[in-house]
Amino acid sequence: MTSSSIAVRELPLFPLPEVVLFPGRPLPLHIFEFRYRMMMNTILEYDRRFGVLMIDPTSGEIANIGCCAEIIHFERLPDDRMKVLTLGQQRFRVLEYVREKPYRVGLVEWIDDKPTQESLQGKADEVKTLLTDVVTLSAKLTDQKIELPENLPTTPMELSYWVASNLYGVAVEQQVLLEMQDTAERLQREADILVTTRGNLAARTALKDAFN
């Protein structure tokens, strides 16, 4: 499937509370609602793809921009429940809902980051350095061994998706990052978040050291 701002298609949609999927990132799911069991059985016979959209925890509204998920492994359980492992593919924008029952199906268009001639490697390296600092401080604060994975993404865009997907408990902020179509802007926002996090962790670590 080729990303295109022009190409549109119908896509089964799976709204999830406070869950934001990013391209290239895994998402395990336990499927138990009847309508979504129907959806999974249908797409397993087709192209194994559906769209994940975040439900805002405050307003209850369903986001208009989400990420396509592809089922890469599934296991059927008793009562026709299912465990599935999906992987994020292209991002999309919902143009309209084709139907809402038994599950939502939308007409969507693919979206991607705008191309740029600017080198983003310097910004990506800055984000990696901040990540290392945050992990080091977190390990010291919790007295646990915490390390960044060795296979951290190398391209700026993939790194920006990886960082965004690993921000926990801030689904609304993750949705903002998902909707951005500028890799440099996304990396800068993540750098700002990591600088704030590093400062908070450093202060807590210093306080812990003072009482030990």
Q: How many Å apart are CA 82 and CA 211, to the nearest integer?
A: 49
- The encoded tokens of residue 145 equal 């061994």
Structure confidence at residue 212 (pLDDT)? 64
Quick one: CA dihedral 69, 71, 75, 80, positive or negative?
Answer: positive
Answer yes or no: is pLDDT of 6 > 70. no
Q: Which of 84, 92, 7 is nearest to 52 (CA)?
A: 92
Q: Model's pTM, two decimal places?
A: 0.89
Is 158 strand, coil or helix?
A: helix
Label residue 1 by pLDDT band (50, 70, 90): very low
Peptide bond into 102 cis (omega under 30): yes
Amino acid at 67: C
The pLDDT of 31-59, averaged and rounded, is 93
pLDDT bin (cut points 50, 70, 90) of residue 168 is confident
Spatial neighbors of 34 by CB under 8 A, at least 6 apart, are 102
Distance in angstroms (rounded) separating the CA atoms of residues 95 and 89: 18
Alpha-helical regions (H) of 45-182: 121-142, 156-165, 171-179
